[in-house]
Structure 1
Amino acid sequence: MKDDKTGGQPPFSYLLKVGHISANPVTVRLEADKREREALARLWGVQSVGDLHAELQVNRWKKDGIRMRGRVKARIVQACVVTLEPVESDIDEEIDQIFVPEGSKLARIMTDESGEMLLDPDGPDLPETFTGDTIDAGVAVAEFAAMAIDPYPRKAGAAFADHVEDTGEGDKKPSPFAVLKDWKKE
């Protein structure tokens, strides 16, 4: 999730040193400042991000992995798909993400005998990999918030009016069976 307008830097970043994380969960609280919220609004294609914060529990997972659990909350404003008026939305998403070092056996995708990937859509997500000795909790929080954005926000009570195409026969609604009139049985 890199933003080209910020020189390749993610708009919301909070680096955690892997070596400083123990088996006992540590609480990490993140909150985006005004500049970060403005950059996220541009990245996400929304009118504004009024708030973005998260409370996470971070601890070691297995031998060399890191587990990050918690909640991300945000308040965004988008344009209604019907009226283009501003629509406020609240995001409240649960985060449960595992990070493992690049090249770890835990990050391998399981395959069957024929080489096809075995993925359980209801199972846990595959671990994310990291390089070096840091993971970016800010990027993970921003990604979870972005996945929760409604792609078709609609203001309460807004509805599309019945759309009738001009068929050359006035404003009468075309029959759904009109395409069959030239069909002949062979």
Structure 2
Amino acid sequence: MSNIEFSREIDIRQVEGKAIHVEANEAERAALATRFSLVRISKLEADLELHRSGERDAEARGTLKASFVQSCAVSAEDIPVEVEEPLFFRFVPQATHYNPDEEIELDADDCDEIEYSGTHIDLGEAVAQSLALAIDPFLTGPEAEAARKAAGIGSPEDQGPFAALKGLNVKG
């Protein structure tokens, strides 16, 4: 796993009952900021409790805490963001076969599954992926409306398929 910016591997056979704190260092936070198109990440950490959930499966539950700065989607101003979210991952062995024509049904529990190969799971990458999901790609700051007006763009409510109907005066 040479291209992973924030890797914290642990042997799946040694996870039962462990409480682990993972925290990205400055270089890892800088690399993740680049990966996720953030201005910077000041803090990225997670406290996790690990348990086996079968012979080769493991579960991790805990809390993600992060502080980062991202650009406003409209004005590009820097917006500080604080995140504190619960985490739940299920690590499962990588599927040994895959049929591209096979229909796959997923339920809500399957969405938190992370496949691994060999005997190690990567808690750092799991936390990094959770951070990516916590980032609002359409975050706007206080200067967004002024930037829209300066560019001659209306507010999001004034756009879209029903915007033209907004001004109609309907009499019943």
The TM-score bracket by the shorter chain reads: 0.7 to 0.9
Over 3 Å counting, the alpha-carbon distance change for 1:100 and 1:82 in structure 2 is closer
Matching residue of 1:15: 9
Unpaired runs of at least 5, structure 2: 155-162, 166-172
The Cα offsets for residues 141-171 of structure 1, whole Å up to 9 and x where unpaired, read as 000011110102211363132638xxxxxxx
Q: TM-score, normalised by structure 1?
A: 0.71
* Partner-residue secondary structure (3-state), 1:145: helix
Report the CA distance between 1:95 and its aligned residue: 1.3
Is the aligned partner of 1:45 residue 2:31?
no
* Equivalent in 101, 109, 118 of residue 124 of structure 1: 109
Contact 1:54-1:141 at 8 Å conserved across structures: yes
Is 2:72 aligned against 1:85? no
Shift of 1:176: 4.5
Cα separation, 1, equivalents of 2:95 and 2:141: 47
CA distance in 2, matches of 1:103, 1:40: 28
**Aligned residue identity for 1:16:** I
Query: Whose Rg is larger?
Result: 1
C-alpha distance in structure 2 between counterparts of 1:116 and 1:136, whole Å: 28
> 2-side partners of 1:81 and 1:102: how far apart?
37
Match of 2:140 in 1: 154
1:82 is matched by which residue type in structure 2?
V
Q: Which amino acid aligns with 1:136?
A: D
Moved over 4 A (4+): none
Per-residue CA deviations over 1:60-110 (Å, capped at 9, x if unaligned) read 112221101111111111111222211001122221111122348xxx9xx
Structure 1 partner of 2:64: 72
Contact 2:75 2:143 in 1 (8 A): no
Percent identity over the alignment is: 29
1:54 counterpart = 2:41: no
- Whose helix fraction is larger, Structure 1's or Structure 2's? 2
Paired residue secondary structure (2:110): coil
Instruction: State the Cα RMSD in Å.
Output: 2.6
State the alpha-carbon separation in 2 of the partners of residues 85 and 163 from structure 1: 17
One-letter code of the match for 2:10? L
Q: Amino acid of the residue matched to residue 53 of structure 2?
A: W
